[in-house]
Amino acid sequence: MPTFLAEDLSVLASGKPLLWGNPALKQASMQPSLQQALEFAPQVSRERILDAQLRMQRFAPLLARLFSELQPSDGRISSALIPAPRLQSALGLAREQGQLLVKCDHSLPVAGSVKARGGFHEVLEFAERLALRHGLLQPTDDYSLLAESPARKLFSGYRVAVGSTGNLGMAIGVIAAALGFEAIVHMSAEAKQWKKDRLRKRGVTVVEHSGDYAQAVEAGRQAALHDPNTHFVDDERSLSLMLGYAQAGQELKTQLGSAGIAVDAEHPLFVYLPCGVGGAPAGISVGIKQALGPHAHCIFAEPTQAPCFVLRMLQPEGEPMSIYDIGLSNQTEADGLAVPRASELAVGVMRPLLSAAYTVQDQDLFDALLLARDTEDLRLEPSAAAGLLGPLALTGSDAGRDWLTRMDIQRHLPQATHVAWTTGGSLVPDEQYAAFLAKGYRTNT
Ligand SMILES: *Cc1c(COP(=O)(O)O)cnc(C)c1O
C-alpha cells in the first residue's frame, strides 16, 4: 500500500495533526502471530521483565533508605491509576465512547516522571553488578547495606553518564548521585534551566549542548567510550531501560483487576503513551501486551513538529530518516518528546505491536494540561498532556473511526477503557507551571 504511506507522509510533513493506524499490527484474530510478535522482541522477554521486577524488589529496602519519600511505599516505585470522569467530560469524550482513566506517572516519586521506571532500573542493575563482582553483596543480602561506606566507596570510583532532553537526566542523575556514583548528564538545547539547576544542586555534573537530543546522546556516548569506569545509559539502545519500563504492564494489569475492569474482545483497552525516542512507551507497551494480551491497544502520541516514531514506521526501509529530512523543526514545548530520530530498538520492538499513533499541536497540549488541573487537579508538563488527546483523536476523527471499524472494535466502544499515561510534571516548579497554565487559558477564555 505505497499510496497510503505517501499520503500519511505528506500529512506528517505538513505539520498537521494525524492519526495513523499501523498496518503491520498483529491482531487479536492472529493469536499465534501475536505470540510471534512478542517473541520477535526476545530481548524483552517475559523472563527478563520478571527478572527486572525481582531486581526492583531486592532494591526496595535500599530505595526506602535513600529517599524518605519512598518510605510510605517501602521503596516500591509505582503510580496510581485513577478514574477521571470530570476530565473525560471536559475533553468531550462521551460516555458511550468508553471510560477515561489516568495512569499517574507524572507523580512517580523522586523523579517526577516516567523515567523513574527505566532510569532507576538501569542504574540499580549497574550497581548490583559492581557490588556482586567486588564481593560486597550476596544475592540474598538485604540490599540496604549498599548505603554503607564500603559500597559507596566502590561506587565513587565509577561514573554514570547519560544524554537527555531533561527528564531522563533528572532520574539518572538523582539515583546515581544518591548511590555515590559520579553522575554526568549531557543536556540538549531543549532542557529546561530548572532541571539543570536541580541536578547541579545534588552534585551532578551537567554538560550543556547547543544541539538537539540526538547530538547530546552522541556526545555522551563518545565521552563514555574512552572511559572503562563510565557506564553510559544509552537512551537510543538500552535494553535495561526498556525492561525497567516494561514492569508497568503488570502494575497496570493488577490495578485494572482491582478496579474490576476487564480487558477482552468485548472490553477493549486503549493506552495512550507520549513518545519521544520511543524507549519508554515501547517498554511499557511490551509489558502491557505481555500482561494483558491482544485486546490491549497501545497508541503513541507525538508532537506535530517531532513525529520521529511515526516517520520511521512509515519508512521502514533504508537508513532512518530524521524529522528534519521532511522539513519539520523539532520545535515544541513538549520538551520530553523533542526528538528528531526514533530509537531503532524501540521501532523494531513496536512494529508488530503498535496499534496506532497520532500527532498533536502544542496549543492542544496546553489546553489539555489546563483542563487536567481544573477538573482532576493533576499537575502535568506539556509532554505528559499528549496522552489525554488520544481518546478524542481515536473516536472523534475520520481516520480513527475508520481504524476502529476496520478492527471491528467500534461496536464495543461503550465498554472500552481509555488509559491516558501522564508521563511527567509533578516536580515542575510553580513559576514554570503557572506559565503553562497561562498558555492554556489563551484559547479557553
Ligand atoms: C521521556 C519522556 C517521554 C517519552 O519517553 P521516550 O523514551 O523518550 O519515548 C514522555 N513524556 C515525558 C514527560 C518524558 O520525560
DSSP annotation string for 128-140:
HHHHHHTTS--TT
Residue whose CA is at the smallest distance from ligand 1 atom 8: 276
**Are 271 and 298 a contacting pair, CB within 8 Å?**
yes
Residue 206 CA, ligand 1 centroid: distance in Å:
19
CA distances in angstroms from 423 to 79, 272, 281, 332, listed in the order given: 10, 10, 10, 16
pLDDT in tens, 262-271: 999 999 999 9
Note the pTM of the prediction, 2 decimals: 0.95
The rounded distance, in Å, linking the Cα atoms of 374 and 273 is: 22
**Residues whose beta carbon lies within 6 Å of some atom of ligand 1:** 113-115, 167-168, 274-281, 336-337, 381, 383-384, 423-424
Distance (Å, whole) CA 301 – CA 355: 12
> Ligand 1 pocket: which of 103, 107, 108, 115 to mutate (most atoms <8 Å of CB)?
115
Of the candidates 300, 439, 307, the residue with the CA atom closest to the CA atom of residue 363: 439
Low-confidence ranges of the chain (pLDDT < 70): 1-6, 28-41, 442-445
Q: Give the span between the Cα atoms of 89 and 388, in whole angstroms.
A: 12
CB of 207 within 8 A of CB of 219?
yes
Residue 251 to residue 265: CA distance in whole angstroms: 21
β-pairing, 296-303 vs 19-21, is unpaired
- Per residue in 118-164, pLDDT (tens digit) is 999 999 999 999 999 999 999 899 999 999 999 999 999 999 999 88
| Beta-ladder partners of 83 | 101
Q: How far apart are CA 202 and CA 161, in angstroms?
A: 15
Residue 77: closest CA among 38, 118, 39: 118
State which ligand 1 atom lies nearest to the alpha carbon of 281. Answer: 9
Residues 376 and 82: beta-carbon distance below 8 Å: yes
SS3 state at 420:
strand
Q: Specify the pLDDT at position 117.
A: 97
Which atom of ligand 1 is found nearest the CA of 241? Answer: 7
- Take atom 11 of ligand 1 and give the residue whose Cα is closest: 423
pLDDT of residue 3: 36
Q: Count of alpha carbons within 13 Å of 58, Cβ hemisphere only?
A: 19
pLDDT computed for residue 445 by the predictor: 44
Residue (of 281, 300, 277, 297) closest to 289 by Cα position: 297
CA of 245, closest atom in ligand 1: 7
Euclidean distance between CA atoms 413 and 363, whole angstroms: 28
Task: Decide if 393 contacts 19 (C-beta within 8 A).
Answer: yes
CB 184, CB 205: distance < 8 Å: yes
SS3 242: helix
Residue closest by Cα to atom 10 of ligand 1: 274
Cell numbers standing for residue 127: 550497581
CA of 280 to the centre of ligand 1 (A): 6
Taking the centre of ligand 1 as the mean of its atom positions, its distance from the CA of residue 165, in whole angstroms, is: 9
